[in-house]
Amino acid sequence: MMQGRRRPGGGGEVNGNVANYRSQDSKNKRRGPVVFNEPQKLHKMLADMGLGSRRELEDWIVAGRISVNSLPAHVGQRVGPEDKVRVNGKLIHIHFAQRAPRVLIYHKPEGEIVSRDDPEGRPSVFDKLPKVGGGRWIAVGRLDFNTSGLLVFTTSGELANKLMHPSYELEREYAVRLIGELTPEQSKKLTEGIELEDGIAKFNSLADGGGEGSNHWYRVTLSEGRNREVRRMFEAIGLTVSRLMRVRYGPFELPRRLARGKSEELKAEQVEKLLSVVPAKGKQRKGPAEEARPPVDGEAPTSPKRGRRRGPRKPREAGEGGNRAAPQQSAPSPQGGEGDAPARKRAPRRRRRPSAKPAAGGGEA
């Protein structure tokens, strides 16, 4: 058996710089850092990184030369991204691939609350979700206690924020059953915008879903998720929602095969497809000051860019516009360097010109 080169000293001794240690099994070739996809046994990971053979590293563990999180390691111990491994006191950097987030869809029935803590002790949707090792499920939005349908959960806070944030404008679709009949005038109000106590709200679309009398259904979509928004919009026009069910949230649809109270986790390829669909950045939303609107009564029209000075003001040359006699009077001044004085004196008069100031008392556009 051909023996590899060993460090001087024999007996498997290594110095503190374990990164430069060459084991018997290592080869003289250049390679990048080893990346692990999941936690593995400590001696196997260190052997894959080229720090020694598995048997050698097991002996080092027994000898107490390897520690995990400042405690002596033991043979067969598994380590993950959160663990700190040291060999002979030197920190070893173990690279782990970033895990894809887990995503779960749940068919919520009426009578469950989307919260972990409820003073009234009502049933929670989290009681029916599978356990997550080293993390927890984060709800993407909420549904009212009396609302059923699709709920989305994920283990990634970043992904949950993207799916909920208004700037991403992910569309929600609901099936609504009304008590009463919806007139064309009311439908127009709901799609054009209706005033609620927390601002204007409107549906992106409103379609007849069929049915008669008290069992008439409609399909509505909107791009935000305010508290009880769908119910409040119909109440604002004098109609009552007898049943409300969410059937779609962005790219997620409620499967017909998924029974109430049951959940289904997305496969790895489905999660990758979801991450490619969700944009890296949301759409920039204009603030109230940036939105184009006509001035109200008693308010002068604002134009911040019109009166802005760009760079230092250039002094006028003799004979250029305005009063041409002023430069001739300053010419015989005995002091050198006073040629700029007339320009500085004329500056306030230029700023007081009517063209650089809004008309006084202008209220309507």
- CA angle, 150 as apex, 147 and 154 as ends, to 5°? 125
- 210 and 61 fall within a common domain: no
3-state secondary structure (DSSP) of residue 250: coil
Structure-token match 């000293």, residue found = 9
- 89 and 205 fall within a common domain: no
Rounded to whole angstroms, how far apart are CA atoms 203 and 52? 65
227's tokens:
């508290």
State residue 38's pLDDT score. 73
Task: Give the number of domains in the chain.
Answer: 2
State residue 168's pLDDT score. 80
Structural domain boundaries enclosing 54: 18-96
Mean pLDDT estimate for the chain = 75
- 169 and 81 fall within a common domain: no
Instruction: Please give the average per-residue pLDDT across 60-75, as a whole number.
Output: 92
Rounded to whole angstroms, how far apart are CA atoms 139 and 152? 6
Q: Which of 219, 118, 236 is nearest to 177 (CA)?
A: 219
Instruction: Please give the average per-residue pLDDT across 6-33, as a whole number.
Output: 47
Pair 102, 154: CB distance under 8 Å = yes
pLDDT bucket at 346, cuts 50 / 70 / 90 = low
Q: Is residue 48 part of a domain?
A: yes
Q: Is residue 316 part of a domain?
A: no
pTM of the model: 0.56
Rounded to whole angstroms, how far apart are CA atoms 299 and 129? 56
State residue 209's pLDDT score. 84
State residue 351's pLDDT score. 53
More confident of the two residues 33 and 59 = 59
Annotated catalytic sites, by residue?
Answer: 144
Choosing from 277, 310, 330, the residue where a domain stops is 277
Q: Is residue 4 part of a domain?
A: no
State residue 274's pLDDT score. 84
Instruction: Please give the average per-residue pLDDT across 144-150, as a whole number.
Output: 94
Task: Check residue 128 and report its DSSP letter.
Answer: G
Residues listed for the chain: 365
3-state secondary structure (DSSP) of residue 153: strand
More confident of the two residues 191 and 10 = 191
For the chain, give percent helix, strand, coil, nearest 5.
25, 20, 55
Q: Is residue 82 part of a domain?
A: yes
Q: Is residue 117 part of a domain?
A: yes
Pair 211, 199: CB distance under 8 Å = no
pLDDT, tens digit (0-9, with 9 covering 90-100), for 215-252: 789 999 998 888 899 999 999 999 889 999 999 998 89
Rounded to whole angstroms, how far apart are CA atoms 199 and 78? 54
Choosing from 230, 247, 277, the residue where a domain stops is 277
- 27 and 148 fall within a common domain: no
pLDDT > 70? residue 277: yes
* Separation in Å, CA 81 to CA 10, 39, 69, 94, 133: 33, 7, 12, 8, 14
Cβ atoms < 10 Å from Cβ of 254: 21
339's tokens:
């040629």
230's tokens:
């769908």
Backbone angles phi, psi at 95, to 5 degrees: -95, 130
- Tell how strand 40-41 and strand 35-36 pair up: unpaired
Q: In sequence order, which residues have a C-beta less than 8 Å from that of residue 310 and are 6 or more positions away?
A: none
The distance of Cα 13 from the centroid of its chain, to the nearest Å, equals 50
State residue 296's pLDDT score. 43
Side chain identity at 132, as an amino acid letter? V
State residue 179's pLDDT score. 83
pLDDT > 60? residue 130: yes
38's tokens:
């999941």
pLDDT, tens digit (0-9, with 9 covering 90-100), for 279-328: 666 555 444 444 444 444 444 444 444 545 555 565 665 555 444 444 44
CATH number of the domain to which 68 belongs? 3.10.290.10
pLDDT bucket at 18, cuts 50 / 70 / 90 = very low
CATH number of the domain to which 129 belongs? 3.30.2350.10
Backbone angles phi, psi at 263, to 5 degrees: -125, 160
Rounded to whole angstroms, how far apart are CA atoms 37 and 45? 11
Side chain identity at 351, as an amino acid letter? R
More confident of the two residues 339 and 47 = 47
Q: Is residue 156 part of a domain?
A: yes
Choosing from 96, 124, 141, the residue where a domain stops is 96
61's tokens:
């563990």
Structure-token match 């939303």, residue found = 285
- 229 and 186 fall within a common domain: yes
